[in-house]
Amino acid sequence: MVLPLLPVIDKLDQLVDSSNGSLSKHAITVIGQIVLQSRSETVDGTIQALSNTPTTLDVIIDFETLSPDQLIKLLDAGASKVVVSTAQLGELTDVPPERLIARLSEEQVATPAGIEEIANLVSGVILDSSFSVSIDPGSLKSIVESLRKSLLPSGGERTVYIQYRLTTSPPTIAELKSLALLSIIPILPSSYLTSSPKENPSLLSVAQIALLGAKTDRADGLYPTIVVDERGHSLGLVYSSGESIAETIKTGTGVYQSRQRGLWYKGATSGATQEVLGISWDCDSDSLQFTVKQAGKGIAS
């Protein structure tokens, strides 16, 4: 799975800028997924922008008042998923569930039946952080269990998301930790996030969020990390730490934790650098995979 976080941006051209406020373009690339949520973007303009978006980045479209035909056009243009209302699901039965996320009202999540009746039609559901149910861990666990009673047709589990808006206070790390333990992914305005926590201590650290659900049984606390190229060919086995993951997210380059030399910036001396195209945890969140664009010879462990 990609990193357990969905940043919200309002223009895809922000991805070509060197920085999206305190959240760098590198960090967005490494996270691997975003929500495009805009009232000003047109469907045609978004389709054009999608053609210039890296294929390694999953773009989820969340526009208001789009018709089923417009939603399908966006999916055909390269959007990974679209956010829809439950009322629209009946008009999108030809769209695979993997491509649809339903936004639910508080009333719809009040009982398990409200989830189960649409579960087979979507890959996930979005709850708003203002829902009273969102502060009740027992209710959230019930929602996750109701949604995950069956697997997606292509395999894999459906996802519960909680959306935080600019009109509400940012969540605390403790709150995000409780969500991570339930495998719930937060949707957060990009302005709440930073890839440089030392420079922006009041904002939420992407690296810290990425590690909230992580675990390791190694005595040294490191995470085994498989490095692969764009074609999925293995370049080697290395190890990551919280510090090296934070540096990777900040710089967009391969940074690892050498068991002999400490923090290891790949290519700093050899010139065989790595542009990181994505980081993902395995299903147990105890090991990582880095997908990289390698410059020079392969990695040595």
**Domains observed in the chain:** 6-210 (3.20.20.70), 223-294 (3.10.20.810)
Residue 16: which pLDDT band, with cuts at 50, 70 and 90? low
Per DSSP, which regions of 155-232 are E strands? 159-163, 184-189, 193-194, 204-205, 223-228
DSSP state of 252: S
What pLDDT does residue 14 have? 62
- For 191-224, the pLDDT digits (tens) are 999 998 889 999 999 999 999 989 999 999 999 9
Q: Count Cα atoms within 13 angstroms, Cβ side, for 180.
A: 23
Banded pLDDT at 264 (limits 50, 70, 90): very high
- Weakest mean pLDDT among 18-27, 111-120, 157-166: 18-27
Instruction: Please report the pLDDT score of residue 301 as a whole number.
Output: 44
Q: What is the token pair recorded at 271?
A: 């010139």
Q: Is 7 buried (19+), middle (13-18) or exposed (0-12) by CB count in 10 A?
A: buried
Report the predicted TM-score, pTM, of the whole model to 2 decimal places.
0.90
- Mean pLDDT for 101-105 is 94
Q: Would you state the pLDDT for residue 2?
A: 75
Is the per-residue pLDDT at 21 higher than 70? no
Give the pLDDT of residue 113. Answer: 76
Phi, then psi, of 83 in degrees rounded to 5: -95, 130
In terms of Cβ atoms closer than 10 Å to its own Cβ (0-12, 13-18, 19+), residue 44 is exposed
Give the span between the Cα atoms of 97 and 99, in whole angstroms: 5
- Per-residue confidence (pLDDT) for residue 100, from 0 to 100: 98
The residue ranges of DSSP E strands in 86-197, in sequence order, are 100-103, 124-128, 159-163, 184-189, 193-194
Statement: residue 136 has pLDDT above 90:
no
What average pLDDT score do residues 237-257 get?
A: 94
